[in-house]
Structure 1
């Protein structure tokens, strides 16, 4: 399975993870395009989601290249790919937490002004901190080939560095651990506030409590708030497990199933966000379906019109004297 401290990456693992990268790239692109297309959907939370999608898109591209290449040495493109994925992956952690903080202040503290005032700080932290860490790691030559011990073919922190564990923490793992704690706490607080508000409102307006539409929207919002931290942890936990197994020097870190789950978890975030915030969000989903159907009908109409035009043109040409004369010349 593995030779020494190097984890072998099988072809089927590459195929599965490359597919995950493609889905994440497309999912992130859909989120960005829907935000750019419909102005009335440009709320601040969705704007923050777009910034998260930019990080996920960049992450998917860098991981795709790394998995496709399966590096085995500290080449220049290995270091470049490792730097891009380090920056994008860390930035994704920060933006995920930033969205949770924004929603907490907006919903629980009922202060949109305060929440909006934090957006600038979100940019400074979510782009600035990952960039600073990545530049420092590059300057100190810490990024490079890691023998797929805590990756799946791509490059990250060089496994040959004596302080590689410290730099793995600084360039990703410590922020991942903080996200594990922060996200569930914030979303639990948000859910509790929504439930209390809904119960208080239902006491004064019983008709709202029994309204199917109200219950449906409440259930959908409650489900989405529950799924956000669960999906994040479900995707990222495999990377954390392999990291802990590496610290324990356990050969289980090289298990093919665990390696595959690690690869999918690190690369599927953009696709998961698309499912939650586009496909499972009725206003966005309805508009997207309508847009695709409309374009499909327009394409079909254009195709039919072109076909009819071609038939009429060919018929006219066939009946014209010049056409017959040309055919006669070719027969001669």
Structure 2
């Protein structure tokens, strides 16, 4: 199945990763759709999650094409797919860190205004830097077939380039390492701040419980979004492990279980965010469920009406005869 790929990719791995891409695509699409459909969800944290989902959606599409094609050499579509996935993947790193920074300033520093003022810079950095890196890599012909050494069928940095390790760092891995360090620190600081705040207000909890403001859904959502770094690390660690194994020349990077985990980790980000911040968020999942029930009910009523109309028509025809 792998053709001339140096790392063999089996059919079952291909099917699993393609399924992960599809789930991530629809998961990202659902996050984007719910953001635009319901005005009360248009908070800044949800907006940042929406932009992250745009990157994840683009990644899912490009990875899907790459895994479906299973490239075995450089080609025009290989380079195009590699460029798109490089841009989207790197952008996803930046948006994930941007969300953590926003939540840190908003929750720990208690400054919504300062956090909101950062959003413009988030756009410039999270779209601009990945675009500049991708354009530079394309101009220098660094993107191409990588023999699935640090991918699973898709194209990334040309494995034949003498400085391919350097370009793997520049087009993704160095930003991944920065995220590994930055996200846990910010996450721990946010959780410590929330814990201290809860402890300090413990004697007033009976009063606050009866106060609807203290149970603000947006506040609960902001805190829940601190789980994004955990999702990020759990999914991305497998690609990092394979990259390190490549650098040190270890054959363990070819093990099927590691290749499969790498493929799922790189492609499941959008689906994981959807599960956590749509399906497992009661205020949103209840609306989706109500919407589905309304459509089912409307369809049921429509089919009953059609059936009744046909019966009436037959009765009238029989009466005329």
Q: Same fold (TM over 0.5)?
A: yes
Whole-Å separation in 1 of the counterparts to 2:142 and 2:269: 26
Structure 2: runs of 5 or more not aligned: none
- How much does 1:315 deviate? 3.3
Q: Which residue of 2 aligns with 1:295?
A: 295
- How much does 1:296 deviate? 1.3
Q: Which residue of 1 aligns with 2:284?
A: 284
State yes or no: 1:177 paired with 2:151.
no
Whole-Å separation in 2 of the counterparts to 1:299 and 1:65: 35
* Larger of the two Rg values belongs to structure: 1
* SS of match in other structure, 1:7: coil
Q: Which residue of 2 aligns with 1:327?
A: none
Map 1:188-227 → 2, pairs under 5 A: 188-203=188-203, 205-207=204-206, 224=224, 227=227
Whole-Å separation in 1 of the counterparts to 2:274 and 2:2: 35
- How much does 1:3 deviate? 9.1
Q: Which residue of 2 aligns with 1:109?
A: 109
Runs ≥4 residues deviating over 6 A? 1-5, 220-223
Q: Which residue of 1 aligns with 2:69?
A: 69
Q: Which residue of 2 aligns with 1:45?
A: 45
Q: Deviations over 1:215-253 (max 9, x none)?
A: 9x9xx7799466432221110000000000001111110
Whole-Å separation in 1 of the counterparts to 2:17 and 2:184: 27
* SS of match in other structure, 2:161: coil
- How much does 1:293 deviate? 1.1
Q: Which residue of 2 aligns with 1:168?
A: 168
Whole-Å separation in 2 of the counterparts to 1:305 and 1:2: 54
Q: Which residue of 1 aligns with 2:128?
A: 128
Q: Which residue of 1 aligns with 2:25?
A: 25
Whole-Å separation in 2 of the counterparts to 1:226 and 1:128: 25
Q: Which residue of 2 aligns with 1:237?
A: 237
* SS of match in other structure, 1:153: coil
Aligned residues of 2:5 and 2:72 also touching (Cα < 8 A)? no
Q: Deviations over 1:117-172 (max 9, x none)?
A: 11010000000000000000001100000000000000000000000000000000
Aligned residues of 1:187 and 1:225 also touching (Cα < 8 A)? no
Number of positions where the alignment pairs a residue of Structure 1 with one of Structure 2:
320
Whole-Å separation in 1 of the counterparts to 2:117 and 2:209: 37
